Structure 1
Amino acid sequence: MSNHPAPRRALVVIDVQNEYFEGGGLPIEYPPVESSLPKIAQAMDAARAAGTPVVVVQHHAPKGALVFQADAHNGQLHPEIAKRPHDHLVTKTFPSVFTGTDFADWIARHQIDTLSVVGYMTQNCDASTVFEAMHRGLNVEFLSDASGALPYSNAAGQVSAEEIHRVFSVVFHSNFAAVASTEAWIAALQAGQPIEKDNVLMSNRRARG
């Protein structure tokens, strides 16, 4: 048990929209949505039971974009998310939940000091939000089995979904966010305890043996 005050958490459910599932333009591959979606739902249910606010985030692309059209099926929240209650809904047009939204004002008003991030994609909207939150002085948690990535190939190289998710998770935990399983997060939530992240120096020392 730590001596820290109980975190004032908000669960931030980022972009769990049909676009990322079968039939969408950007299917998440790792962890597979068949395993991550139930974890996201489990986290939402646990937050509700614990009286922890849930912020649902939905990405809306400009008219004419190929993905995330507000009025198209693929731009809608996945039914598992849509059917669950939330305390606040954020609609965004940039990767970070903070940019061009009322999110920062909302968390300040509710005296939130810890953001617990789930949803998609690990390397894009999750990462943008994690990095910005840390720089704004917030504690951040990343539920690695309730999030996910997809593979990329471009002029800079090629990388699998597993590599992207693993690398970002390790980098987050080294400095930006405490990375945990949904199960471990729920236990910490119920105990009113923070989850500790690592640091750059120790992360590097372990790797060097």
Structure 2
Amino acid sequence: MHAEIRTYERQGFGAALPLKAPVGLLIVDFVNGFADPAVFGGGNIPQAIANTVPLLAAARERGWAVAHSRIVYADDDADHNIFSVKVPGMLGLKEQSPASAIVPQLAPRAGELVVRKTVPSAFFGTSLAAWLAQRGVQTLLVAGAVTSGCVRASVVDAMSWGFRPLVVSDCVGDRALGPHEANLFDMQQKYAAVMPRDEALRALDGLAA
């Protein structure tokens, strides 16, 4: 692995991503279905949810823009798509389905955006980019599930829209640790800053100061 890392370094990957205010927080798909190992969960997702509770509290305390995402398909499956072809169980995530509801400990408050999506990225086909831009967000913290799927897709789109993603490494989780760790590495090399919650909050508080 060390030789592989040196290859990335030699080719110029992994440059530092300077953080800039204002700051926003995106919590991707921390819903009951992804918290439940019997549905879409497992791995380190429960710990990532627990770690996100104080992150969300800190974001609210600092007045950051906060957005959440849910996967929600139409009741009649009219928006059945390639994602649901690959993962048919996704069609069980409906507006009124308990599995599609955001976990109670991270329930949105008034003024926080909730985007509904039928693909991995929280940006694709939603108002998220415009909502963040209207609030002047430059650095976007990202928490959620799963690291290798909807988190990664949202991070790539955030970068593509011109936001500076900061993946909060202990606040994202996956049903398997191998994909989780590989995608954290890859996002840090190409698309985002990656750091644990407490380090991220210190860095951003220092920025504000």
Determine if the TM-score, normalized by the shorter chain, exceeds 0.5.
yes
Alignment of 1:18 onto 2:32: yes
Q: Residue 37 of structure 1: CA displacement?
A: 1.4
| One of 64, 69, 76 as aligned partner of 1:57 | 69
Q: Residue 134 of structure 1: CA displacement?
A: 1.3
Q: Secondary structure at the match of 2:169?
A: strand
Q: Is the 8 A contact 1:24 1:74 kept in 2?
A: no
Q: Is the 8 A contact 2:168 2:195 kept in 1?
A: yes
Q: Residue 28 of structure 1: CA displacement?
A: 2.9
2:177 counterpart letter in structure 1: E
Q: Is the 8 A contact 2:25 2:66 kept in 1?
A: yes
1:204 is matched with none
Q: Is the 8 A contact 1:117 1:142 kept in 2?
A: yes
- Higher helix content, 1 or 2: 2
1:179 is matched with 194
Identity %: 24
Alignment of 1:28 onto 2:42: yes
| One of 166, 178, 181 as aligned partner of 1:141 | 166
1:8 is matched with 22
1:207 is matched with none
Question: What 5-or-longer segments of structure 2 have no aligned partner?
Answer: 1-17, 78-87
1:201 is matched with none
1:7-33 superposed Cα distances (whole Å, 9 cap, x missing partner): 21110011110001236511131x241
1:189 is matched with 204
Alignment of 1:107 onto 2:107: no
Q: Secondary structure at the match of 1:192?
A: helix
Question: What 5-or-longer segments of structure 1 have no aligned partner?
Answer: 151-160, 194-209
| One of 161, 164, 167 as aligned partner of 2:182 | 167
1:40-74 superposed Cα distances (whole Å, 9 cap, x missing partner): 11111001111111111111124356332221111
Structure 1 Cα separation of the partners of residues 145 and 38 of structure 2: 13
Q: Is the 8 A contact 2:69 2:115 kept in 1?
A: yes
More moved, 68-77 vs 139-148: 68-77
1:153 is matched with none
RCO higher in structure (CA 8 A, sep ≥6): 2
Q: Is the 8 A contact 1:56 1:86 kept in 2?
A: no
Q: Residue 141 of structure 1: CA displacement?
A: 0.5
1:131 counterpart letter in structure 2: V
- The alpha-carbon distance between structure 1 residues 104 and 73, as it changes in their structure 2 partners (threshold 3 A), is same
Q: Is the 8 A contact 1:50 1:190 kept in 2?
A: no
1:192 counterpart letter in structure 2: L
